[in-house]
Amino acid sequence: MAQENAVLPDALCWHEFSWDGPECQSFPGTVHMDKSLRSEGYSTFSVIISPGETSKTVATISHLWGEFLAPGMERRSTVVALGGGVVGDLAGFAAATYMRGIPWVNVPTSLVAMADASLGGKTGADLPQGKNLVGAFHAPKMVLTDPSTLRTLPRAEMVSGIAEVIKAGIIGDPELYKACTQGWERIEADWDEIIPRAMSVKIEIIEADPFEEGIRAVLNLGHTIGHAVERLSNYQLRHGEAVAIGMVAEARLAEKIGIAQHGLANEIKDACTRLGLPAEVPAEMNLEEIQEMIKVDKKRSSAKVKYALPVRIGEVRPGYEVSDIEAILNGGFDMSIILVLHGPNLNLLGQREPEVYGNLTLDELDSRLKEASEQLGLEVRTFQSNGEGALIDALHEAQEWASGVVFNPGGYTHTSVALRDAVASIGLPVIEVHLSHVDAREDFRRRSLISPVCVGKISGFGWRSYLLALRELAWQIKGEV
């Protein structure tokens, strides 16, 4: 710290986080910081905070105010937070509210704090009803991060902290996420790259939205559900462990409502468990209590809880309202979404050549498919268009949320190279279907430009051609009929 920095005062205090409670007075960081500051002419004193989330209370904040008053700290005094995320939250909140705000400096020593908690100026304390329900935006004047301090951490804290690094990769850095999936040896060989990349994701977002009025809410990925399970575990779950559980559950939510790529939740789950993180809500935890805890989440708006949900690795979107999450919390959600795509003239079903195409209307056909899909553990979404472009657009959009496609191209079967290319490009299993037995009809109907790029073709069974295709996709996707 340079003495010419105008925000640095005549007196400083710092708050320490120790793994051994009161013994933190002998923590080497205390000695080094004290010597460094005193050699530059500053007077210092220390305040010791007991380790863990249980210290993150309004009572601790009140204690800190008293400690600040005792030696006569003034508005030009500075608080230095030396420790993990709890220390930073408490020291920052105390600094934000003491004398209506005094400067502070954050020196994070845990991986959670380096990758996430030390950045952005969010400070606060917990209430019995939930985490971070009181606090303030009060940015530190400086954040000093030294990855070498990670060598002092217990392994469990390292595992917890890596969840925030994974989160940063999911939000905005696919290469960072990829590095995390390569295991601890890859990560620990290059902390000097890993930590700055994780920090950069958050810094870019908070610079664009410092007070969480929009895009900054993506940083809450995993935290809405994560904070609830962390609190209900009585903080036996570490913060990063709870965030990992939250990220997997919220990815399942994203798949369920159709904004995430199929398989994203399992991909994130694999990345977390490979590094030693939990990925499922503990079996002994009451799901109703989790939902009640979520209802008092600080991120709610107009009495509604809004989630930041992943679309793919590298993209998260904020602002989604989801009501029923019990199946997702229980790890029981595994419903794949199938697009059923109807081509030209299928809107005329029931009146167009019923002797060939049957008596069912399109609405009746779709209703039967949706009923059958529930028994197969699938969700069906249907779309019909007489336009080639609209069908192509539907196929492209399906890449974002569908697990497979049942496609009746109608007359485009025999003519559309563009639809053939669209099917080939989306990377999803597509089954071509026809109500009539096209191979027993006119010669021109026997030719399909599309079936060569599909995983199969079913025709001649009326509406059951669609049903057979759904069953086949269920097997293709889930390995079951």
Q: Which of 322, 300, 317, 263 is nearest to 130 (CA)?
A: 300
Kindly name the residue from 106, 132, 220, 408 that is annotated as catalytic.
220
Tokens of 36: 């460094």
Query: Distance between alpha carbon 456 and the CA centroid of its chain, in Å?
Result: 35
Kindly name the residue from 15, 56, 122, 131 that is annotated as catalytic.
122
- Catalytic annotation present for 220: yes
Residues 91 and 64 sit within 8 Å (Cβ to Cβ): yes
The secondary element (H helix, E strand) that includes residue 471 is helix 464-478
Kindly name the residue from 227, 252, 269, 420 that is annotated as catalytic.
227
> Rounded to whole angstroms, what are the CA distances from 1 to 5, 115, 367?
8, 22, 69
Residues 221 and 167 sit within 8 Å (Cβ to Cβ): yes
Kindly name the residue from 239, 342, 457, 471 that is annotated as catalytic.
239
Cα distance between residue 325 and residue 302, in whole Å: 19
Kindly name the residue from 100, 151, 234, 284 that is annotated as catalytic.
100
Cα distance between residue 74 and residue 28, in whole Å: 28
Spell out the residues 6+ positions from residue 295 whose beta carbon is closer than 8 angstroms to its own: 305
Kindly name the residue from 212, 241, 250, 432 that is annotated as catalytic.
212
Kindly name the residue from 202, 238, 262, 306 that is annotated as catalytic.
202
Kindly name the residue from 15, 56, 138, 223 that is annotated as catalytic.
223
- Catalytic annotation present for 122: yes
Spell out the residues 6+ positions from residue 141 whose beta carbon is closer than 8 angstroms to its own: 7, 78, 103, 104, 105
- Catalytic annotation present for 100: yes
Kindly name the residue from 53, 67, 157, 164 that is annotated as catalytic.
164
- Catalytic annotation present for 227: yes
- Catalytic annotation present for 212: yes
Looking at the DSSP bridge assignments, the partners of residue 134 are: 125
- Catalytic annotation present for 298: no
The residues carrying an active-site annotation are 100, 122, 164, 202, 212, 216, 220, 223, 227, 239
